[in-house]
Chain A
Amino acid sequence: MAECACNCGEDELTKQLDKIIDPYRGQPGGLIQVLTKSQELIGYLPKWVQVRIAEGLGVSLQEVYGVVTFYAFFSLIPRGRHKLSVCAGTACYVKGMKTLIKSLRDVIGVKPGQTTPDSRFTLEIVRCIGACGLAPAMIVDGKDVHGRIEPEQIPEILEQYA
């Protein structure tokens, strides 16, 4: 799952990726399977991986990217251990979602769409999570909802996620 730890870098990964692609060479129909297995291997689907898959299966990069961005399951960025999803639905937007994002950025040091260098947090923005009464809201790891968040509460909330 994790990034390859040795120094062989992309070469070894490329070989393993090709093993996933090989059975589907020239077969556009295998796209979803290949993407799923590739994400299992690498943890996410960076551009070089998508290019290799596109060329292997004989489809355009546009098609691969279209599928990758359609399914929330696929990720374009390396994922941290914990996913912080800040709601940008109308209610949260009005109740200060922008301030919330800014405070989170100040604490963890990355923008939405990025992962902290220590792989602890990935920050992202999502549509209404159905907790409008608790706006502004954030959901962590897809299950813990935190509502009516004030900037000073942020370090305390994050402490729960090592």
Chain B
Amino acid sequence: MINLTIDNQKVAIEEGSTILDAAQIVGAKIPTLCYLKEINVIGACRICMVEVQGARTFVPACVAPVAEGMVVRTNTPSVIKARKLVLELILSDHPMECLTCVRNQNCELQTLAEEFGISEIRFDGAKTEYPIDDSSPALIRDPRKCVLCRRCISVCTNVQTVQALAAENRGFDTLIAPAFNDKLADMECVQCGQCSLVCPTGAIVEKDDVDKVWAALADPKKHVLVQTAPATRVQLGEAVGAEPGSIFTGQMVAGLRRLGFDKVFDTDFTADLTILEEGNELLQRVTQGGTLPMITSCSPGWIKFCEHFYPDLLDHLSTCKSPQQMFGALAKTYYAKKEGVDPADIYSVSIMPCTAKKYECQRPEMFSSGYQDVDVVLTSRELGRMFKQAGLDCSNLPEEEYDAPLGISTGAGEIFGASGGVMEAALRTVYEVVTGQTLESVDFEVCRGLTGVKEATVQVGDLPVKVAITNGLGNARKVLDKIRAGEADYHFIEVMTCPGGCIGGGGSPIPTNTNIRLKRIDATYTEDERMVLRKSHENPAVTALYEEFLEKPLGHKSHKLLHTHYTPRGVNK
């Protein structure tokens, strides 16, 4: 243990800790900007400067290690003056567009300016003029608002191992962008949006499609329906100001009705359907010698990642579309027919914790109903904004039920939102279908939690089923490299693009960090336990769907509507 003094308070902390860590223990608040716990620790911005007795200059608390007997002052007038100067320098090259900025009131730079009482900028600096990149259907990059903190580079390089962004040029000309300032849409960026989740400002944000939805709701000819992803009900609360971990399922349904949606349906329904299609595909591959291990295909960032970086492994992907796209294809076929609505009049909206879903719904493979299957995707953040615009207050909304039939679901569909959930849901069904026996406990604890790569062997009848679960693309890489090397004897692998799974998706409320992810995961399993039905094959609406329309899993109609194929893309093309 190292003993030091911070603002006259004694503190003991493990060797190797930083002054910032130590300050947190004694409740001394040091402002930070470039620093992001576990992700970006580079000491670049210097807003966290503190005074250390005996040091010639101020030291950056986020990177400076503690030392025995150190005497630190975090808030002397000269420290505050120096921090203010840093802030003013950043702001002198910043467009003052807060009122029209997506990050208004949720921006770390804005908060700092407010906390430091910045009322004028003394430097009229030259402004960098870089064009906005709005080429991607999912994200917008506005380098004018970039503070060069490099959090996005760290998350994209170290967590996702995509390396779509780099710091280019020097000094005043520094630009955070893809090489040659290429467009995000035209390169190997997987549209996961993790960069937008960690960016402290509005320099990388989701593409806002809220106006498209308002326009559809205002059009009397349109039959507007909405599906909500599993993770959204444990996220919406945060987007409208509630505590992380709040569950707002019924209130979200009620709110969506008040916004004017004709039907409020649930992606959990097609998550259940995915289990039946994917579970049967797995059994078929095992019994008929298909490509193994089979890998899940619900996460569109992961699909794009595999197409770019592991095109040789595309045969391992399940051919199942994601639950969002299965829903889209069924809404404009099965549901349209059943309800007697012209599919041309259906406007299909999807609420997702994900930016990559915006990209997915525009892929050319996703028009199997004869129309664009899902018309528009809103992230949890955008739904939060819609609720605010409409003056909907979740704490005053009643709890309402989803509409039938595409809103009927089980706990297995719900846990798709957390890393390991798809695997657990699949095991619940595969076990019972293969053995004909009822599971004693439906809880597969080995699948749960934030560990990067989880492995387990589950005895299903005579077959020991070997599975692996990865979250975050860097962890996926570890398992994929094993497959490439012929060292992976798994049957089934779940890959989720984002750390923690969808509850930590790139379209989640900001902030999203490890602590908040854990709270959303807890909430997800609470929802699962609350459900009467917890196994996908027990979903009566799915059974009816097969009886009335699809006939059987992997049948002709399933192949046409629910399955897809992939495109090898490579890198630097």
Contact = CB atoms under 8 A, between A and B. Distances in A.
Interface of A: 47, 50-51, 54-55, 60-66, 69-70, 72, 90, 93, 127
A127 B172 contact: yes
B168 interface: yes
B180 A47 contact: yes
A41 to B, nearest CB: 20
A93 B126 CA distance: 10
Interface string B157-197: 00000011111111110000011100000000000000000
B531 interface: no
9 contacts: A55-B572, A60-B571, A61-B179, A62-B165, A63-B166, A65-B166, A65-B180, A66-B168, A70-B167
A51 B178 CA distance: 13
Contacts of B165: 62
Contact of A65 (B126, B168, B172): B168
What DSSP secondary structure best describes chain A's contact surface? helix
Max chain A Cβ within 10 angstroms of own Cβ: one of B164, B178, B179, B180: B179
A50 B180 CA distance: 10
Nearest to A59: B163
Contact of B179 (A50, A55, A70, A127): A50
What DSSP secondary structure best describes chain B's contact surface? loop
Given A54-B572, A69-B168, A70-B169, A62 B179 contact: yes
Contacts of B179: 50, 60-62, 64-66
A137 to B, nearest CB: 17
Contacts of B126: 90, 93
A63 B168 CA distance: 9
Nearest to B172: A127
Of the four ranges (under 10, 10 to 19, 20 to 34, 35 or more), the interface on chain B belongs to 10 to 19
Contacts of B180: 47, 65
Given A47-B180, A50-B179, A90-B126, A61 B168 contact: no
Given A65-B166, A66-B179, A70-B169, 9 more contacts: A50-B179, A54-B572, A61-B179, A61-B571, A62-B164, A65-B168, A65-B179, A90-B126, A93-B126
A134 B163 CA distance: 44
Interface of B: 126, 163-172, 178-180, 571-572
Contacts of A66: 166-168, 179
Given A55-B572, A61-B572, A63-B163, A127 B168 contact: no
B558 to A, nearest CB: 38
A52 to B, nearest CB: 9
A60 B571 CA distance: 9
Nearest to A66: B166
A66 B99 CA distance: 33
Contacts of B167: 66, 70
A69 B169 contact: yes
Nearest to A89: B126
Nearest to B179: A65
A66 B31 CA distance: 29
A53 to B, nearest CB: 10
A62 B171 contact: no
Max chain B Cβ within 10 angstroms of own Cβ: one of A50, A69, A72, A127: A69
A60 B158 CA distance: 13
Contacts of B166: 60, 62-63, 65-66
Contacts of A51: 572
B163 A60 contact: yes
Nearest to A67: B166
Nearest to B167: A66
Nearest to B570: A55
A127 B170 CA distance: 11
A7 B79 CA distance: 65
A90 B172 CA distance: 13
Nearest to A65: B179
Contacts of B171: 127
A130 to B, nearest CB: 15
A45 to B, nearest CB: 11
